[in-house]
Structure 1
Amino acid sequence: MALIALGLNHLCAPVALRERAAFTPDATAGALADLIAQPGVREAAILSTCNRTELYCNVESGAEGSPFDWLHRHRQLHGANIEEFLYRHHDSDAVRHLFRVATGLESMVLGEPQILGQVKDAYTLARNARALDAPLERLFQNTFAVAKRVRSDTRIGANTVSVAFTAVRLAERVFTDLAEACVLLIGAGETIELAARHLTEAKVRRLIVANRTLDNAQALAGRFGGYAIALTDLEKHLAEADIVISSTASREPVLSRSMVAAAIAARRHKPMFLVDIAVPRDIEAEVARLPDVFLYTIDDLREVIDENLRSRQQAAEEAEAMIELSVEHFMAWWRALELHNPIASVRRSAEADRDEILARARTLLARGRNPEEALEFLAHSLTNKLLHAPSANLRAAALRGDAELLQAAEKLFETQPGPRKQPADPKPG
């Protein structure tokens, strides 16, 4: 068996490629079913966020390339030069990578807490899709424990900022006083909720929440004193917005160039600031070419985020040490699991011997032989068949003085040396 972590993220791949590789939650269950049906793939989980798409797989030896082939084919990445951007980790490196991801060490915002929830969501999707067995189940449980320990025992989460907070902070640079701005939030997920909270704290003048499901938009807007609209009404309200922050799970853009151009014209070319933190992108890239429009994607937020990086570097070093120890513990369990593999082959061999001899005993009965004779044949032949190889190997071990193997055999078969025969008491003279 081999553990594989395969993926691409904001550190190595542009947003245009990340959006092609991304999976929506609704599509993940079907994707997992298809992935574990691939030759040699025993278990799998898919983690897909705005910053990364990753596959975690347990595969048979020789099938290490199956997850890559599947991703390339399933996401139709032909001609994308994906090899240039993809990373692959095996066994302990795969374990280490997942631990680092869950603790926020691989995030754009070092130590950001949302990623752990996203890893838990990926685990839940895989479990519900019956794509997990004992090895990956244990890996994810260890991951959650490591992330919890790192967050409680270090200051990795101190002074951290979310992508949503970074988007709001960037907006503040453009609009010095958010109390004079109207903000349109597109989506109703966790990132948009965090943005709404930060905007409310900044006392934004007006908040509009647009979502495909109006009930969800109303629930979110109600918590922050905003106004809810359906996504189908976006064009009617777009011109009202000074700032647009979008994060949906849509596979297609929700804001087109023509929609934004019409809104800018209606605003008499009053500037509009847009932040697209969705992957795939919610706002067409051509929007950036429009005059009086300032469009930022998630990759553009790095400069703002880096300002808050230094304060958490020491905590990150402490987290790395804790992760290394946890990797060692998991790999010790993994290696022990590998050692247990002979059980399956021993059982298969014994069952094959049993079936062969049982068939021969039934043949004897069919030929009219005495049932007692058939039973004796079955018991005698099966005993000899099962004990032949162990007996031969133990005799050879005794001849070469291999005490370790002989002692292991006693423990394995739960045998004890036979009692010594005591000499008879001398008869009275």
Structure 2
Amino acid sequence: MHEVPMSSPWWLIANTLRGITEYKGTAAEPRILEMFRLSGHGQVRSDEEAWCAAFVGACLVLSGYASSRSLMARSYLKLGTKLDEPCEGCIVVLSRNGANSSYGHVGFFLREDDDQLLLLGGNQGDSVKVSSYPKSRLLGYRWPTERAPVATSGLLPNILQLGVPDDQVTTEALEDEQRGVLGAIDGGQALLEFLPLRPGANPDSVDQIEAIQGLLKEQGYPVGKEDGDYGLRTMTAVFSFQQANGIPPTGIVDARTWFQLRKGEPMPLWPERRNETARDLKREGSETIALTDRGRWLALATALFGVLGLTDARTGLFEKTGQLATKAEAASTQVVQSPSVTDWVMPAAVADEAGSSLPTLLPVLLGSKGGVWIILIVLAVMLWRNAQATTAQRVDEHRTGANLRF
């Protein structure tokens, strides 16, 4: 295989489109329809049409090169310069239904594997992905040469949007950019073989997902633990990141999303958000803060009820409230003197261990004098702590922008 003879920005574009897949049913994937439009066939309204040539054409015009403007794969046998040997990113035209048929397939060359050619192309298993084809189907290798204005699209990125000026792309710079999209992120494993990454179980991609989670977290998109689990929080963070960076929000990490993540640009926020407090959020009508405020009042009421109940259990205060004032005063003296310091510290101590020891303590407490009231005090402490933690999390999400999701 020959080395890349010149810059090939279309190869970078092709890799950013990895993972685009036809919709099942009558609906059409809008990005595939956009490929048809960019190739000069905007009248096509179905992704069931063969679109390998549309994919190649879209990649070329988005990178500032002329396409064949045909949906026939074999039309690319006349485009650009003929190559005797393949190089990464060159156009490969294959036969279909025999060498004499007018049908064919077209894609971009990735590498050779014995008697197989590995191509990155569209309409390969209904997706943009890498697939292998026998060399016996080869019709020719071509290299685009004719420049054209860089096309613009609201659904697909062009080379300028990827931060690579089309008049400044050298072979060395292109290879650096390709490493940015397809480069190793752990143990030398290329991301190419893992993308696209979708929510759910990805047992073979744990290290890659952890790397993505780390980048999202660094840029202000909370993902929880960096555990390699592509769950709801990670998907939401990816969705928010894509929205903030002009990428079609799918929650799926494709090459374009990975490329943008590596730029390391923090989540765009209004500066005043970073200094706002729970009081500010309450004034702005936050339902979460209002709910935690009610939770704190409930905790205080529960604690007060528990303290009074415990005091009555120890002193008979409630029974004595109907007695004469002098006896009530004596009873109040008992309230102060009767419980020891240990009695009042116990609820907080129990609350500290509530998560693990409360099930064991419940039978003991329920069978002891005043045990029910101690349980109420413990629950009050737990309610208070939960309200405090929820408030802190909500304020943190507001300051980092994690609440800006769907």
Please confirm whether the aligned pair reaches a TM-score higher than 0.5, indicating the same fold: no
TM value normalised by structure 1: 0.23
Normalising by structure 2, report the TM-score.
Answer: 0.24
